[in-house]
Chains A and B, each alone.
Chain A
């Protein structure tokens, strides 16, 4: 608790790298050093980076599966209820529960709800939209969406120590290390 109170005004320390390989290596080293509350930022997706952070599988596929099943069952039941119960019409002598005719709409509902839960689920798990985030306080962080690579160790990490962590980050051969204001 003392550590957190001490560093409340500091969000973390950020090291800037010039190429993806340096960032992945630095992240590996920080992980082995025992740091966990950290994040790496890159201008394009890097598979190795996610592994280096020690992150696990995403829950997103499960959300999409549930969404798809909900759309599928909901779409079918809607058609069954409308055609057989709420508004029964005799169309060309077909049975009221003429299930083959319900397949196209069931399919479309499956895709629609699955796709919506995919996008909304991704944004929700990522915590977006997020109007403010401390990393943007670093002026050079604007290059994270162009051609620079950043590793930020957050002050919430139990091992975080403003002097010690800075010394550790300097050993990783970064372009520079900046303090991120909260």
Chain B
């Protein structure tokens, strides 16, 4: 009778739950249940009906992207609304928006790993997948904005018969290196994380095709202790490399603007303010995706309220940094006594696009303040709505920075306005379609939560002395 009350399993479980806060994994799970729960989503023969319905819709949106890009290559970028003086508009807005969203994945997997934030484990896999798909969507815009995407390789330094080389003093060339390095390292990080789980799928798959495909991808992983040791070393080193990388990418993106002399762009606050904005929008997108996914696949045991609350807190903090950026922009516009800078600010507040600026302040600064209240942070519908609002707000921020600075710069004689065309919208919606199509395929064919890392968090994983 005494032995019952002295069950040794209770204590380590309390360590995982960490006192009064909600647990990272719901109690009662074992190696077997965690493995079966996550791998059964992939290995089931019965794909849920809603998956087909959702996949059909997002595949149609991807089709819209194909149509838009085909027409663009056929006609030229004149089908978009950009024209002198607004040479960058929806394309670059969408590029920066997608790249920003891509930042949460690496932040969650690398920086939170180094900071030993164990709660990251349930969400890092699909946040990394989200990063890859967001970077893929982002890449489409500058690629097609060149007008001749089939010559995009001219951006890379390679010996050629023209004897021409890239101009390394240009931030646009830095961007090519930053974004392609980011895409490569994110892919490596994601794939390395997947290897042990692919081995699990290989060993558990009932079908021959599944065993062969997962087997090839797992590359013969057998869970040897010597392999695990090098694997963990590699994973930590990659995290250490990805951490400065993730900060550098949006910094370089901000240089695209900050190195120019256009009012509203030529400012030193841009790098930190862009990085904070990227993390802000990235976490908003992770919440937007995590909330429906955990409901659809009944993953409340693994993606608990603890995760949602922590992400809400990160959003609140980065949102405040972004708000500080807005305040600094306004302050410097006044304090610099530069009439072009102060006009830029007045033009944002009261010019033809004032609605976009006020909506941006509402979405990014005012509404997210609700996250100060615990009642909001613990309400799933409220978090979902706020995350959607922040996504919209961060898109508006990039639109305001790009279009509002370009459309009225120094000489009133060269002012002009921008209005998006049908093809601007269809390309944007199309990349959302591409992003979600890839995400649907990922959810169906790969484990969306890292199974082996979830095993390490279970109380039974501890080796007793």
Which residues of A line the B interface, CB within 8 A? 19-21, 24, 27, 39-46, 48-50, 52-53, 55, 58, 60-61, 64, 68, 78-79, 82-83, 86-87, 89, 91, 94, 98, 101-102, 104-105, 107-109, 111-112, 114-116, 118-119, 121-123, 125-126, 128-133, 135-136, 141-147
Q: Is B219 an interface residue (CB 8 A)?
A: yes
* Residues of B participating in the A interface, judged by any CB pair closer than 8 Å: 30-32, 35, 157, 163-169, 171, 173-174, 177-178, 181, 184-185, 188-189, 191-192, 196, 199-200, 202-204, 219-234, 237-238, 241-242, 244-245, 248, 252, 255, 452-453, 455-456, 460-464
Q: How far is the CB of B20 from chain A (nearest CB, A)?
A: 28
Distance between B168 CB and nearest chain A CB, rounded to angstroms: 5
Contact A41 B225 (CB under 8 A): yes
Closest to B200 in A: A145
Q: How far is the CB of B235 from chain A (nearest CB, A)?
A: 9
- Complexed CA–CA distance, A24 and B229 (Å): 15
Q: 7 other contacts beyond A112-B185, A119-B191, with CB at 8 A cut-off?
A: A44-B196, A45-B229, A60-B233, A68-B241, A108-B245, A115-B189, A145-B221
Pick from B167, B204, B224, B242: contact of A91, CB below 8 A: B167
The residue on A at minimum CB distance from B173 is A105
In the bound complex, what is the Cα–Cα distance between A143 and B32 (angstroms)?
A: 10
Secondary structure class of chain B's binding surface, majority of residues: helix
- The contact sample of 24 A-B pairs, CB cut-off 8 A, is A20-B462, A46-B228, A46-B461, A50-B226, A58-B229, A58-B230, A79-B168, A82-B168, A87-B165, A91-B167, A102-B168, A104-B252, A105-B168, A108-B177, A119-B238, A121-B234, A122-B233, A126-B230, A128-B221, A144-B222, A145-B199, A145-B200, A145-B203, A146-B204
- Our pick among A19, A40, A86 for the contact of B165 (Cβ within 8 Å) is A86
In the bound complex, residues from chain A placing their C-beta under 8 Å from that of B222 are 41, 133, 135-136, 141, 144
Q: A82-B166, A128-B219, A145-B199 are in contact. Are A118 and B181 (CB under 8 A)?
A: no
Contacts of B223 in A (CB 8 A): 41-43, 144-145
CB pair B181 A108 closer than 8 Å: yes
Let me know if A64 and B237 touch, CB within 8 A: yes
Known: A122-B231, A122-B233. A91 touches B163 (CB 8 A): no
Q: Which residue of chain A lies nearest to B227 when distances are taken between CB atoms in the complex?
A: A126
Docked-complex contact A101 and B231, CB < 8 angstroms: no
Name the residue on B nearest A44 (C-beta). B455
State how many angstroms separate the Cβ of B459 from the closest Cβ of chain A. 11
